[in-house]
Amino acid sequence: MKLSTRLDRRLDRRAKHAPISFLRPFATLMLIFVSAHAFSHGNAAPTTKSDRSIDFPDVEGYQTLVVDLHTHSVFSDGHVWPKIRVEEALRDGLDGLAITEHLEYQPHRADIIHPDRNRAFEDASASAKDSDILIIPGAEITRDAPAGHMNAVFINDANKLLNDDNAPEDQADVLAYYAATKEWPAQSAVDAAHAQGAFVFWNHPYWSRQQPDGLARMNDFHRKNAKAGKLHGIEIANGQNYSEEAHAIALKHDLAFIGVSDVHDLIDWDHPPAEGEHRPVNLVFSRDRSLEGIKEALFAKRTVVWFRNLLIGREDSLMPLLAASISVGSATYREGTQVLEVDIQNHSDATLKLQNRRRLLSWTQPMSSACLHTA
Ligand code: ZN
């Protein structure tokens, strides 16, 4: 944070002295860098959006929906009831939420009777019935490497993704239960999800408990499923982490970019809104505000990940979002000068840095307008 603030100040000084001849949004091939400066230490400009709701404008032809496709509750290894997950999601202004319990790892099973793996979805749906948030049915298939962890969302019945026929009688022996249930081949669980038309993605492929050097690598299991159309996405961002290697795998194997909170405790503990932080989410460009619309958009890979004030996506998803986020109110020359005053408005939550011919010009605060002088 300190480094970034220093950098911003330096760039700010440069911007003030740099003569500019035209403006254009700065985009790298795949990343749009945005500044955390405006959100830090309470020194944001007065125009900065102050509420915690995650808002991005709709893009041409699509609604921009904000979804978190990976969360947990007490029905696996989370520590809150599904209702709290819904309440948090409403505070964050999410349009869609999936509670994706580990099917095989059930640390609370001695205390919470859980024969039906659809309970988290049902409880969340009941909690959400008076709001317009869309609850997405999902579950987490949990194995050791190479399959690792995979989320299946838009399923019909989570129970069919689990086989606990050989599970021990002892309810309290969590590890024995996991050891028995993970023996059912991961491929059988993926096939069961596929049979339900699920959207399946590979979770945190760089997780150091399964990948000791922390670097995501494609393996035969996932390569085969991606090729067969049974693996559709990959987490490039999860909680506090972003993986360049997972990003590269998504591009190489034509998988959707997925970014999730994977929250287990309280979302405000992981991403304190008072400190300007936000949970990682997917922006999904959907034909309408419906479960079916989100599902279709995911399969079509119309997603952008919003992670630590960074927008990550394919160019064909990012550029329409940028186009919708920025508008030019006016552009007029000061009388008798060659100095052009440009009023730029930012309709998004992102602090967008704008660059002119490789020199940084300025940035625009979320939901604000900025007046830039160019010559
Ligand atoms: Zn998880």
Q: 280 alpha carbon to ligand 1 midpoint, in Å?
A: 14
* Distance in Å from the first CA to the final CA of the chain: 32
Please state, in angstroms and as integers, the Cα–Cα distance from residue 366 to each residue in 22, 63, 90, 268, following that order: 22, 19, 20, 21
Cα–Cα distance, 152 to 203 (Å, whole number): 10
- CA 262 to ligand 1 center in whole angstroms: 5
CA of 176 to the centre of ligand 1 (A): 20
The pTM (predicted TM-score) of the whole model is 0.84
Contact between 323 and 10 under an 8 Å Cβ cutoff? The reply is no
From the CA of 97, how far away is ligand 1's center (Å)? 14
**Ligand 1 centroid, distance to 78 Cα (angstroms):** 9
Distance 158 CA to ligand 1 centre (A): 15
Q: Can you tell me the distance from the alpha carbon of 56 to that of 327, in angstroms, rounded to the nearest whole number?
A: 14
Centroid of ligand 1 to alpha carbon of 63 (angstroms)? 27
Determine the distance separating the centroid of ligand 1 and the alpha carbon of 230, expressed in angstroms: 19
Spatial separation of the C-alpha atoms in residues 91 and 52, rounded to whole Å: 7
Q: pLDDT tens digits for 225-246?
A: 999 999 999 999 999 999 999 9
Ligand 1 mean position, distance from CA 204 (Å): 9
Domains and CATH numbers, the chain: 2-321 (3.20.20.140), 326-374 (no CATH)
* Rounded CA separation 289/83 (Å): 22
Local confidence pLDDT in tens for the 375 residues of the chain: 232 333 333 333 333 333 232 333 333 323 333 333 333 233 333 344 458 999 999 999 999 999 999 999 999 999 999 999 999 999 999 999 999 999 999 999 889 888 999 999 999 999 999 999 999 999 999 999 999 999 999 999 999 999 999 998 887 899 999 999 999 999 999 999 999 999 999 999 998 888 888 899 999 999 999 999 999 999 999 999 999 999 999 999 999 999 999 999 999 999 999 998 999 999 999 999 999 999 999 999 999 999 999 999 999 999 999 999 999 888 899 999 888 888 889 999 998 887 766 555 666 777 666 655 554
Q: Tell me, in angstroms, the distance from the centre of ligand 1 to residue 266's CA.
A: 14
